[in-house]
Amino acid sequence: MIDRAGKDYIPNKMASNPILDFGIDKATIQYVGSDLQRPECILAEPDGMLWAADARGGVARLSPDGTQRIITQQRSESFAGAASEADRYLQGTLPNGLAFARNGDILISNFGTDCLEIMSRDGATRVLADSIDGEAIGKVNFVLRDSKDRIWITISTRVKNWMHALRTDLADGYLARYEDGKFRIVADGFRFTNEIRFDAKEEFLYVVETTGGCISRLRIDERGEPKDRGIFGPTSLGKGAWPDGIAFDSFGNLWGTLVYSDKLFVLTPQGDLRVLLDEGDAQQVDALEQAFFQNHVTQDVLFPTGRGIAPWMASVTFGGTDLRTVYIGSLKGTRIPYFRSPIAGLPMVHWDE
């Protein structure tokens, strides 16, 4: 089997899964970057360059030589700064998920302006879409480009204040595809849709449902239409199960983060769950969980959570020349932790373009 980058992909189901014997030695964790703001999503390039979403209204470029630069989006609109920690997540521009366009520009799902944007590497920004079927698009969370140059986005919720969508009885998130200058909804009824990833053959699309506490999977046909929707792995990823970011390795393991409980987990190709890292504050996580199941999440129980190497652990990115360096994005962190994996990540579509 060959993956979408033309490299060998391990197909032998009888082969030993390296993740089963792997553990993270916290003493070996290193960091890159400093004074970052909300490095939620990270893109890696083969030359070692990293690009991280930044709450200052742009993308931070982290060079292999250790230098960094914030590239602020240049747009006609202006957005006021946030007055409090809570306001940072509710007001103004808030770059969230990132993807490279085929020409190297950066696609930005902006969780603050509620639109899909495209930014050149010098900061020039324009809006690709900000509505769907003539209505407001909702909270644009993540963007992903596939090998056929199709652009997929997730909308977490149609509720303007996303904190009010952190409840058990709301499933208004959806998956859309951008084509011919507009969005088209291709799947609906998700519980706070978050990151998405294709498997190596782009046969299945994996969808994070944050308030559902699980990972859904849809088969994607040749026309890009989804079918055979179901849950991959456990129906619940355990206590404090608010999954956020996911990424595949080349064995077929799906790595992921649990955001408010600050856990890094892996689902094997068989759907078995392993927790690799648990940085959460058990008392604060328990308080948030109780409020969540009562459909009464407030800032008072939400914001005290988040600690450890990447507080509000949000994403996983494989990088390095051999794709064995794992970077962890976060919503509260100011730098990016990284460690070495026993197996390479599955290359993103931009890797050999």
- CA terminus-to-terminus distance, the chain: 20
- Considering the domain boundaries, does residue 290 fall inside one? yes
**Dihedral angle at the C-alpha atoms of 285, 286, 289, 295, nearest 10 degrees?**
-120
In angstroms, rounded to a whole number, what is the distance separating the alpha carbons of residues 127 and 112?
Answer: 13
How confident is the model at residue 10, as a pLDDT? 47
CB atoms near residue 222 (< 10 Å):
6
- Considering the domain boundaries, does residue 50 fall inside one? no
Of the pLDDT bands very low, low, confident and very high (cuts 50, 70, 90), residue 84 is low
How confident is the model at residue 86, as a pLDDT? 54
Looking at every residue in the chain, the average pLDDT score rounds to: 92
- Considering the domain boundaries, does residue 34 fall inside one? no
Specify the DSSP element, H or E, that contains 283.
Answer: helix 282-293
For range 63-71, the mean pLDDT: 96
Q: What is the pLDDT of residues 215-270, one digit of tens each?
A: 999 999 998 999 999 999 999 999 999 999 999 999 999 999 999 999 999 999 99
- Considering the domain boundaries, does residue 85 fall inside one? no
Tokens of 208: 């994070």
In angstroms, rounded to a whole number, what is the distance separating the alpha carbons of residues 234 and 32?
Answer: 33
- Considering the domain boundaries, does residue 126 fall inside one? no
- Considering the domain boundaries, does residue 103 fall inside one? no
DSSP β-bridge partners for residue 187: 175
Supply the range of the domain harboring residue 270: 133-340
Count how many domains the chain has: 1
Q: What is the pLDDT of residues 299-323, one digit of tens each?
A: 999 999 999 999 999 999 999 999 9
- Considering the domain boundaries, does residue 69 fall inside one? no
**pTM higher than 0.85 for the full model?**
yes
Q: Is the pLDDT of residue 3 over 70?
A: no
Q: What is the CATH number of the domain that holds 306?
A: 2.120.10.30
Q: Is the pLDDT of residue 106 over 50?
A: yes
- Considering the domain boundaries, does residue 352 fall inside one? no
How would DSSP label each residue in 230-252? EEES-SS--TT--EEEEEEBTTS
